[in-house]
Every structure is written in structure tokens, then in C-alpha cells.
Amino acid sequence: MQRIIGIPAFGLTRLLPGGLLPVGLMFGSLMLGGCSGETLFQSSFNATQTNQPPAHNQATGTASVAGDPGSVVVKPLPNSTEKAVQISRAGTSQAINVLTGTLSQVKGAGTYGLIALINIPSVSPPRRTAMSVELDATMLGLRGPILHLDFMNDCANSGQPGANTVRINDTPGYCFGTFPNDRPFVLQVTLHVGTGTASADVQLVGAGGMASGSASNIPIQYPSLARQFGSVAFWMGYPWSGAFDVTDIVVTYRKPGT
């Protein structure tokens, strides 16, 4: 389901099960080939009161929420002293509940890096579930999907819950990687945008090695949309129910040829 509508993290650490995970130190050089680039979005949720929506103004860029009242709010990150945004959805909901991070600028061609810390709690009793991450173009007040990722447990649409994996662009069977429930892990996306072509690389890491896998050279169907990359969205929509947490969201940019 799709909707139509230096990296500062070098100094960032997060207390996770098993100890401190130096997110920026481990992944900053991977994202942009060792160059910090220009920061276009950086989340900052710790100052927001628990059970309230995230502040509009973030460290860089802005945040907005949509959907059911109280469905996108700041909560303590499990097993941490830090906070995250929790996106939840009831089975009776008719809404798409979404956190959108809007970049400070639309830069056009170049190399973009997205990094985010995600926690997906287990559900009981076990059932099919999914949460989505989307890189979107922003044009004339509308948002169009550039790259769509579903973190789910039924990649082939079999109707039965199975292994956790990531589906690319809503294509049944086009999946990669594995990730745990109840343990935060890192999503890393690199978006390569040229004047006539665009592609993406996606990687899962962290959680003591329980998150792993990558997909490279994912073609972007509409490069013109990629040149208008302006926001990243984390959301849950029909028919899924449950909750997930996201924090430490950073988007960076590097000019072509650098």
C-alpha cells in the first residue's frame, strides 16, 4: 500500500540491549562514502512531553503528524533513557497514521542518505502486520512516493504470518533481509539521483546482528520524482494494526561529483 498525498549522528549513541550502539560512528561513513554532507533533516524528540505529538520544528527540518488522534506521539524508547515517536493503529481505524519529516530544502540531483532507528514490538496473538517507510517527492503541496519499504511478516501475501522481512515497492516476493521484534535496529537508505536516472541501496543493521540484509541498485521508476525528494514518512495504514517506534532520523545530502 502506497500513499499519494558531517552527519550530526557521529556524536550520537543509543543505549540498547547489549550496550551502547554508536549509530553515527558505525554508519555515517557508509551512508555518504566518508563525507558528512549537508544535513537536511534531523529529529529531536527528547524535549517533547510524553504522549504528545512531536514538535513541529526539529533540529533540522520539520515534523508533522496525521491520522487518528493520539496515534502518533512521543514515548520513551524501550530499554533506553531516550524518546521516540510511536505510531500506532487500531484494527477498527479507517485512517493512515503517519509521521512525516520534511526536509529543510529540495536539492535535486545528488546523493542522499537516510538513517533511522526503528523498534517494532511483537504482537500477541501472532498475526500479519506491517509498517511502512517512504521517501517522498514534494510538489505543489502533494507528496508522491519515490521508494516504498514495508517492514512485514508476510512478504508473499500468503495470508499467514511468517518471517520478518522488508518488501520493496509493494511487490509481492520482492523482499530482503531480516529484523527482530522488540529490539531497536537501524535502517539505512542511500538514494542516488542523477539527471535522468535514480537508484537506491537499502541496508538493515544492529540489534546484536539480529537485523541484517541489503538490497542494492533498486531502480527508481520516476527519476523526476527523485529530484524532488522532500520528505520521509513513517506510517501504518489499512489493514494493519499494532505499533512501532522510530527515532534518530537523519537525512543528509551530497552534491553530484563530491
Q: What is the per-residue pLDDT for 18?
A: 38
Compute the chain's Rg from CA coordinates.
17
Q: For position 140, what pLDDT does the model report?
A: 64
The pLDDT value given to residue 27: 41
DSSP secondary structure, 81-112, as one string: SSEEEEEEE-TT--SPEEEEEE-S----SEEE
pLDDT at residue 176, rounded to an integer: 97
Scanning 36-78, the segments in alpha helix (DSSP H) are none
- Within its chain, how far is the Cα of 245 from the centroid? 10
Four-way CATH pick for 8-254: 2.60.120.260, 1.10.3720.10, 3.90.230.10, 3.90.700.10: 2.60.120.260
* pLDDT given for residue 141 in this prediction: 67
Q: What is the pLDDT of residue 90?
A: 94
Rounded to two decimals, the pTM is 0.87
What pLDDT does residue 12 have? 34
**What's the confidence (pLDDT) of residue 257?**
86
Closest by Cα among 173, 95, 165, 92 to 128 = 165
In eight-state DSSP terms, residue 52 is S
Buried-state track 197-212, b at ≥16 Cβ within 10 A, e below 16? ebbbbbbbbbbeebbe
Give me the residues of the chain with pLDDT under 50, please.
3-35
Every domain of the chain and the residues it spans: 8-254
